[in-house]
Amino acid sequence: MIRQCLVIDDDFEITALICDILSEHNFIAQGVSSAREALELGTYRLSEFDIIFSDLKMPQMDGFEFVAQVKDMGISTPIIAVTGLPDKGHDLFYANDGKKRDLPHHIISKPFTELDIRTVAKLLEQMKSA
């Protein structure tokens, strides 16, 4: 079974690296440079992805806003956040009004290792084959 992955990061090198690692694990990986660009793909296309990797800190729309909008669209695709923020961005889990934000399924810290991405890919393969 061919699996599809979306990678969202404003750093092209990070996007390309994650896409390359996932391609080695039989994923078709598509990269975009912003959360807005990802949302422009539309509900149907976003729901076709088996997994989405998203940076948390991006201009215009951050990863938390993206997660919230995807959930509002009724899409249940697992979202893995990739962040260079200290403490995996835990300080951003709460909005300015103190309400807890919609959270990604998992968070990987930058700099990440190839093993981090491979581990997520292998877990997804196991989940899909079960």
**Which one, of 71, 32, 30, lies nearest residue 49 by Cα?**
30
Note the pTM of the prediction, 2 decimals: 0.83
- Start-end of H helices in the chain: 12-23, 35-39, 42-48, 63-72, 114-129
The DSSP 8-state label assigned to residue 40 in this structure reads: T
What is the CATH classification number for the domain harbouring 49? Answer: 3.40.50.2300
CB atoms within 10 A of CB 95: 13
pLDDT digits (tens, 9 = 90+) for 68-123: 899 999 998 888 888 887 655 455 555 555 555 566 777 888 888 888 887 877 77
Number of domains in the chain: 1
- Selected residue with higher pLDDT from 45 and 93: 45
- Selected residue with higher pLDDT from 37 and 110: 37
Question: What domain range is 21 assigned to?
Answer: 3-129
Q: pLDDT at position 102, please?
A: 64
Distance in angstroms (rounded) separating the CA atoms of residues 75 and 83: 22
